Structure 1
Amino acid sequence: MDVQERAEATRRYLVEAAARLFDERGYAGTSISDISARSGRTSGAIYFHFDSKEQLALAVVEATYATWPALIAQVRALPVSALEKLVALSFAVARTFRDDVVVRAGSRLWMERKAIEAPVPAAFGAWIETVTALLREAGAEGDLAAGVAPDTAALTVVYAFFGLHTVSDAMDGRALIEDRLHEMWLVLLAALQPGPAAADMLVRARAALAGPAPVPLPA
């Protein structure tokens, strides 16, 4: 491993260590000294890679945003309809929020962005564009009810999805996020589909996300 690779590995390690503290304590409740103690690196070593706590927080947020393009591409490649891709994507994102501490920390930092003395990148524009594109494709495939405008429906879906995350995090730390998301889609799909079949759509979308069933071994 060369010098640049070691520096990048150290930066990633510090971002993950900081993310765990930001997730647990929030931005105001975390100091460079805390991150030093958690990471086992001196404050001087941290400042070598990051000029300030603000810059380290921004690195966590940027790492969160960097998670999404590959995930979106993975779901878009699924051999299912656009509407099923949208549903599958929502479950993939929900699991990432629940299971990835950097993503959870990035979400919390964005909510606390007014306390950070540096501009925090906008969070929702790219999601609105992605959902709008999938709903337009769903309309072209005949999977949207008459009168459903993809642009307007996309805003509703994004509002509902991220609102659900906020409430789920507050109530149970997102432990039941997939159950709550399933319930949300039962309501939304009833309005989006031309002939509502929400339960079947959810089964297909979640099965597509899980991948093909394993082939049983011969007896």
Structure 2
Amino acid sequence: MNVREWRVLVVEDDFRVAAIHAGIVAEAPGFRVQDSVRTVAEARAVIAQEPPDLLLADVYLPDGDGIELVRGCGLDAFVLSAAGEPDTVRRAIRAGVLAYLLKPFPKASLLDRLDRYARYRSVVSGTRGLSQEKIDRALAILHGPGESTGPARSATEELLLDALGDSELSASEAAARAGVSRATAQRRLAELAAQGVVAVRLRYGGSGRPEHLYSRVR
């Protein structure tokens, strides 16, 4: 099982700004730039051929309105714009944007929103129904300061926590479910245990070293 890579379409008519945004996306773990286009028409053509996972759209485009593009495409989207008028921001929120960043913004701001998006998607993935706790957690990841007062969790840590669910798993078992390497799972689970998010128990076998078993603290 491979870790999901999120495809991003950049819709920005200023080629220099588009290159900056695309460069930030390329730096974000788990993301890749699917394409970068200048107009609403070009964006719709790309979406029709292969819908991206996430749209990064400006509001004012040469042939139309980026917010209406978001409203009509039915995709997850961020608006990245210099437009700070209250009516514009409210209209974007009504259209369903997951984030609104005013240009110019620090690179860290977009990286933070992308990390939140990856963690949000890890919570709302799959085909099984979501519990209220998961829905609340997903919304807190997107819009809140975090699920707790502790350090923000990475997308990998969210994958591992979802893999644990209500089970007690070894690092190898959690790694297989989450689609990460055993070494990565062991390191991240140990960090989560140090934060008190995960409990650790030793299981002693017939021979050899005891095995660490991890479970979520409820």
State the TM-score, normalizing by the size of structure 1: 0.28
* Structure with more of its chain in helix, by fraction: 1
TM-score in terms of structure 2 length:
0.28
Larger % of strand: which? Answer: 2
